A and B are shown apart, each in its own frame.
Chain A
Amino acid sequence: MTDAPHAGWGVMAALGIMLVVSGAVGIAAQRAVERGSFLKGFFLGNRGLGVWTMALTATVQSGGTFMGVPSLIYSHGWIVALWIGSYMLVPLTGFAVLGKRLGQLSRRTSAITIPDLFRGRFDHPTIGLVTSLLIMFYMSFMMVAQFKAGAILMQLSIPGAHEMSMGEDVQASLEMDYYVGLAVFAVTVVGYTMMGGFLASVWTDLFQSVLMLIGVMVLLLLTVPAAGGLEHATRVAVTNTGPAFAFGPGYTTDGHEFLPIGAAVSMFFVWIYAGMASPASMVRVMASKDTATLRRSIFCLSTYNLFIYIPLICICIAARSIIPDLPPEKSDQIIPRMALWSTHGLPAGSLIAGIILSAPFGAVMATVSAFLIVMASAIVRDVYLRFINPEASEKQIRRMTHVSLALLGVGGVAAVIYPPNYLQALIVFGSTCGASSLLWPAVMACYWRRATAAGAMAAMLGGSATVWVLYSIGWTTTHAFRPYLLWGLEPMVYGLAVSGVLGFAVSLLTTPPSEEHVSRLFDG
């Protein structure tokens, strides 16, 4: 196998600088939060997000963007471009379908969280509680996976990290590196989120998004020419792996098709609707300053995605010809490996590699921070203040918020001390259930006057149950955490269909909401 250079001190220095800047941003955000009321400031940034913070942070980039997707491209070739092709429309759908109405409704109901918004819109306390519980449950799957990704990236950046050398005799040291990485990652993210809340999350996310763009551009300029261009890289990869690298459907190591046509259709649902109905994205849209911000964010994020995803495809195609023999179980290290390989021997190469590596690290940190905020807000706003201590003072709320964040951080660390398998599957499961549960209730809340609380609840639980059933059948038949693909389609397609039908049918069968209440939320 092609040897990769080890991480040097420059890598550690670049990541260290990023951690310090993230902490400083947390402190700055804390000052901004203290200018207004704690709840709205800490969980919604006083509804003041501008174009850059909105566009570059209300996104679906995560550790998967820089680890999972590159691994798939490296393994399956050009067909992965179709797998992520629907990102061409994520910015438009993410802001134009629900954005304006969510912004308006959240103001009219004084909502700070998604459960808050549903409770206010449907005028029913139970729906808020159900939404909170669903969000916390599904987000915990995704957060655990991000904690593990963060720990691994931190581990790889430790100078002379043993992971790159693949030796069996370094297992103990490897485990120690992992735990050190996990501790540094958790303390940093929970720390800056605890200091500055939502604003710390979006400001560091913005800073990290810029780093991601720089990292991807540098890597593109270093790797594609080194591979002799895309066409040459493709021909070399086809020579090494076979013609399937250049065409669909691609094949997994156990001979299954990677992207049959049904799965390709499904991915146009998965990325679009998972992004649109993600609680973290919806909350950021609610925090938009005005509609002009939403409009401009579409263009800004479209441009950003263009310069992230297409270069990532090119980099990983080139990587397959440069490092042709990475074992499948290590393919998610292709970006860190390319960063180290392509900067080896350059002046300040280790530092440049660190800047490139900070892209996936930043993506993971930003995602975890956003999840922490949404989950803590669900605990504090939707459970503690609604059901446990409605008369809590600001001091008590602040303390409860910090305790919640600390407990979530400890929970995330505890969950990955023994890293679970099926991480990618858990992420897909969490986001599939989230979208299947929340999309139709959100659409009904925004656009349908006749929608009732019972209808929204039926949509939420029906969508969720459909996904559960399909995963259960998959588990039973394959003994692995895989969904059953009925007629080749992903569970989200069925989850959305069942959710929509139930939402409309149950709404029509139940007592209409009070016209006075609806009028306050729908009329001018």
Chain B
Amino acid sequence: MTAPPCMPRNPDNPLLRSARREASWTVAIWFCALVYTVGYCAYRGYGREFDTLSFVFGFPDWVFWGIMAPWGVCYAISALFAFVVMQDAPLEDDAEVNSAAGGEIAHD
């Protein structure tokens, strides 16, 4: 529904609120992944002697615990995000606010 131009619209836009919250969580997850992955790999994957290297499922130990394991965790978090955390909301119809688009062209 489009509100008449003279009436104030409802400031409570559920999609905007949920999108902002989800974006904040996503950036926080990205930052944690960056700190752990780069931190662990810098600590265990740089400047070592080959004799000290062990293998986990064929991967060098620092690759497995520093990249493969967090990749698995991020996969699980992404699934959780997609099916539990993110909320659905209507994206609304086209052309609701044509006049707001500053000289909208009537070709679409």
Contacts and interface: CB of A to CB of B under 8 A. Distances in A.
Interface of A: 37-40, 47, 78-79, 81-82, 85-86, 88-89, 91-93, 96-101, 103-104, 107-112, 116, 119-120, 123-125, 229-231, 234, 238, 243, 246-249, 261, 264-265, 268, 272, 288, 290-292, 294-296, 298-299, 302-303, 306, 310, 314, 381, 385-386, 390, 392, 394, 397, 446-447, 516-517, 519-524
Contacts of B49: 243
A23 B25 CA distance: 42
A299 B79 contact: yes
Given A85-B67, A110-B94, A306-B71, 18 more contacts: A81-B67, A88-B37, A89-B30, A92-B81, A93-B27, A96-B25, A104-B15, A107-B94, A109-B100, A120-B104, A123-B100, A230-B59, A231-B55, A246-B53, A247-B46, A295-B88, A381-B105, A446-B19
Contact of A98 (B23, B62, B63, B96): B23
Contact of B34 (A110, A268, A385): A268
A47 B58 contact: no
Contact of A110 (B27, B74, B95): B95
Nearest to A447: B20
A85 B103 CA distance: 44
Contacts of A47: 94
A522 B13 contact: yes
A112 to B, nearest CB: 6
B38 A268 contact: yes
Contacts of A290: 88, 90-91
A302 B80 CA distance: 12
A302 B77 CA distance: 10
Interface in B36-90: 37-38, 41-42, 45-50, 53, 55, 57-60, 62-63, 66-68, 70-71, 74-75, 77-79, 81-83, 86-90
Looking at chain B, what size class is its interface with the partner chain? Answer: 35 or more
A346 to B, nearest CB: 24
Interface of B: 5, 8-16, 18-20, 22-23, 25-27, 29-30, 33-34, 37-38, 41-42, 45-50, 53, 55, 57-60, 62-63, 66-68, 70-71, 74-75, 77-79, 81-83, 86-98, 100-105, 107-108
A298 B81 contact: yes
A217 B20 CA distance: 38
B23 A397 contact: no
Contacts of B42: 248, 261, 264
B41 A107 contact: no
A522 B71 CA distance: 35
A246 B98 CA distance: 58
B45 A104 contact: no
Contact of A93 (B26, B41, B50, B90): B26
Contacts of A103: 91
Most central of A78, A81, A107, A519 by chain B CB within 10 Å: A81
A88 B74 contact: yes
Which 5 pairs from chain A and chain B are nearest by CB? A230-B58, A120-B101, A523-B9, A524-B13, A243-B50
A89 B33 CA distance: 8
Contacts of A314: 58
B105 A88 contact: no
Contact of B75 (A88, A229, A265): A88
A524 B98 contact: no
Nearest to B76: A302
Contacts of B77: 92
Most central of A92, A248, A447 by chain B CB within 10 Å: A92
Contacts of A517: 100
Given A39-B108, A264-B41, A523-B9, A291 B86 contact: yes
Given A37-B108, A298-B81, A291 B89 contact: yes
A109 B101 contact: yes
A100 to B, nearest CB: 4
